[in-house]
Amino acid sequence: METAGSGSRERLDSVQLLRAIAAIDIVVFHTPFYALIGSWGVTLFFVISGFIVCYVTETTGVHFMQKRILRIVPLYWAGTLCVFGIALAMPSLVQNTTTDVGSLLKSLAFIPFYKGQIIQPVLFLGWTLNFEMFFYLLFAISVRLSHRYRAVICSVLIIGIVVAGQLFSVDVVVWRFFTQPIILDFILGMFCFTVLKATGFGRSHRRRFASKVAFTGLGTAFLVSMPLSIGQGSGATNLTPGVAGGIELGILSALALCSFVYGLSGVVLPRPVVLIGDASYSLYLFHPYVIQLFGKVFRAFDSDTTAAHLSGLLAIVLCCVLAVLLYRYVERPVTRYLRRRLLSEGGRRSSGLPRPGGVDAR
């Protein structure tokens, strides 16, 4: 994996930084005592996804959907099967998860369904992956129609779906779920790529130091504003559990993304920061195991004491450690192996743009 100074392709460490921030926000939100910080990481992830899919298909869209599947499915299926196994062996450790085989199959196929009063798969965090896979499908269709105008076509499709959802009330879970306005966040990410490409973000490392500092400071201000804006948007619903905010969060995420890409282009960030960004997918999927271990097995959060708060901080750190180990020894090797075995040479080749880091992109 090249770094910015390796002389081949520059990594976009700025994107990995934002991934790390988004993932840690979600972990913090799911940790008792710290949930009041707010959940805005999902919105940031969706905006980043919109940016990345345009970014990695800039040269070619060959095998786009296959690469997305190989990137997302193995780890998600592993996490889902682990939760299902826990529900079978130790049901007291899970909340609404049942051992219904139909629910398991729907979860593995990214089909939304009600689990109790909310739409949620077996691995509860998988509801965001339902949106991700739906977006990838729309983007894959757009690439096939026109590689050059893929972002425009995909944006039109998404807007049309959201508008249809607002105009036509269909009492079907899949329809109600996938027509939610939250999928507009992906458009904001694609728009970010279009703007950054048009303004030559790959050459922004030649800008003056003062300019970089200004853009980075601006991006930081946008990030800080995100939790403050949550109260202005719509809250979590039974369709999108655990996510708050509205279009304000999406716009702030897009502005933060553009600012950091400009401000940190050519800057090599500390390896631990980039590594957590690389491992953000593992961190997102598997942090509940650590949180539940502390909460339901060790009973660390039963009292509102200093020790309990410190236990929460320790759990967050251990979540990051586990994620890095999973990324290095499971996620990355498995993804690379599957790509070597299942994709042609053309499908494995990426563009000559600066790399966002990681195995590819979530």
Span 234-289, pLDDT tens digits: 455 667 665 555 788 999 999 999 999 989 988 889 999 999 999 999 999 999 99
The predicted structure's pLDDT at residue 9: 37
Number of domains into which the chain is organized: 1
Classify residue 129: in a domain, yes or no: yes
Exposure class string for 221-251: b at 16+ Cβ within 10 A, else e: ebbeebbebbeebeeeeebbbbbbbbbbbbb
- Find where tokens 């977006």 sit: 135
Q: Please give the radius of gyration of the chain, using alpha carbons only, rounded to the nearest integer.
A: 20
Classify residue 314: in a domain, yes or no: yes
The answer for residues whose C-beta is within 8 angstroms of residue 112's C-beta and 6 or more apart is: 106, 119, 121, 127, 130, 173, 174, 177, 178
The predicted structure's pLDDT at residue 116: 80
Residue 189's domain comprises: 13-348
Distance CA 316, CA 95 (A): 21
SS (H, E, C) the chain: CCCCCCCCCCECHHHHHHHHHHHHHHHHHCCCCCHHHCCCHHHHHHHHHHHHHHHHCCCCCCCHHHHHHHHHHHHHHHHHHHHHHHHHHCHHHCCCCCCCHHHHHHHHCCCCCEECCEECCCCCCHHHHHHHHHHHHHHHHHHHHCCCCHHHHHHHHHHHHHHHHHHCCCCCHHHHHHCCHHHHHHHHHHHHHHHHHHCCHHHHHHCCHHHHHHHHHHHHHHHHHHHHHHHHCCCCCCCCCCCCCCHHHHHHHHHHHHHHHHHHCCCCCCHHHHHHHHCHHHHHHHHHHHHHHHHHHCCCCCCCCHHHHHHHHHHHHHHHHHHHHHHHHHHHHHHHHHHHHHCCHHHHCCCCCCECCCCCCC
Q: Which of 268, 338, 281 is nearest to 10 (CA)?
A: 268
Residues (pLDDT < 70) of the chain are: 1-11, 36-38, 202-207, 231-238, 240-245, 345-362
The predicted structure's pLDDT at residue 109: 98
Burial (CB count within 10 angstroms: exposed 0-12, middle 13-18, buried 19+), residue 303: exposed
Work out the widest C-alpha separation in the chain, in whole angstroms. Answer: 59
Q: Contact, 354 vs 193, CB < 8 A?
A: no
Distance CA 59, CA 56 (A): 8
Classify residue 50: in a domain, yes or no: yes
Distance CA 244, CA 231 (A): 8
- Find where tokens 């910015």 sit: 4
- Cα 327 to Cα 11, 39, 128, 209, 279: the distances in Å are 18, 24, 20, 34, 5
Classify residue 92: in a domain, yes or no: yes
Q: Which of 121, 232, 244, 252 is nearest to 177 (CA)?
A: 121
Classify residue 7: in a domain, yes or no: no
Classify residue 58: in a domain, yes or no: yes
Classify residue 124: in a domain, yes or no: yes
Classify residue 3: in a domain, yes or no: no
Q: Contact, 157 vs 186, CB < 8 A?
A: no
The answer for residues whose C-beta is within 8 angstroms of residue 353's C-beta and 6 or more apart is: 9, 55, 58, 59, 202
